[in-house]
Structure 1
Amino acid sequence: MSFLTPTLKLLASEIASLLILRNETLSIAETACGGLMSAAILSVPGTSKCFQGGMAAYSLESRITFLGWTKEDLENYRGPTEQIALNLALHLRSTLSSTWCLSESGICGPTRPDVWRKEIKGPGYCAYGLVGGRGVVGAEGKGDASVPLQTSKEIDVPQPKTREENMVAFAEEGLRFLLDTLKAQSVQ
């Protein structure tokens, strides 16, 4: 019996195949997903050729120890944001020297993100950051190819979902975000 959903397995297989084919590497920083994205990638045979490592930095304190956060970041923390996810990705990509780094920061429940940000209904919120590749992709379109891609997105998962269902939904969405970006980069 697998703990991974068929969707996670399929996404991970496609991502690993593309990375190996292109001789690129990946690292992943996770908070709310608890390592599901990394586990999905690692379930694909041969990923030692492309996976640099993952970090499940669940507590805010672990982000200081492993992902470059400062005490000021903790003092100013107001819930997960796309900028937080991007900063996690930037730090881990630099630390592990990977081509790509995907990160997420979210709230699975039962805590609600509207404690910090009233516009978010929840639980079931996740922000993603993705850094790497051969150019900048985002709302403004393509940019200077010498600058690493830095893009982000957020999702609000339709309710009601359990904590575990939200974790899986976040992991699937994060890997889908990565795969879509990898595919877009290959046609530029």
Structure 2
Amino acid sequence: MAKIAYLLMLMIGLVSCKIKTNNIADGIKENKTVKDASYYTILHYGYPNTNRLVLMEMVSEKWKIKHVEATGCVTDVQSMNAIDRKNKKTYAAIEKRYGKDWKIKYEKDLEDAAVKQTDIMDVLIVNRPFRDQIKKCNIEIDGVDKDVTQLGNSETYEVIVYSYDQNNKKINCCTLHIDTKNRKVNLIK
């Protein structure tokens, strides 16, 4: 029974990984297309930590750092070394801008973002207009997919709530501005 469970977990892991066949040079060239040249691009390989990626996206505006998947779960040593060399240069540039302790500050901001995610959901769960809106979009309250962006240095966040249709196409349900300090929600659309 344990062998079957292990085999099933292995199969799920392999299916959930995206396997890219292009070489690493194409991946790095492809990932230089960040919208703003003032952003630093950190490349990733291997199985993605999706929870951490969500938090990194929340603080990306403040830090001007974008995280991009250069290869999928299956990669070779040569590709990993190329990505590590590129990231080493990026880390040096970030250190020059933010100081030697930037990683500690960045991790602190990620922890704060995790707390804010919880605060945002606490505010949304009790908000009747929000609950009505997600009901129209056929989204369960405990299955809310959202993109969160901090607006400036304030306690106000823009939250885009979305779902997926049967073709796995992303459909925006609503956009909200949430003031976590005053616990107010403004439904934008």
Q: TM-score, normalised by structure 1?
A: 0.28
Of the two structures, which has the highest relative contact order with CA contacts closer than 8 Å and spacing of 6 or more?
1
Higher-Rg member (1/2): 2
Q: TM-score, normalised by structure 2?
A: 0.28
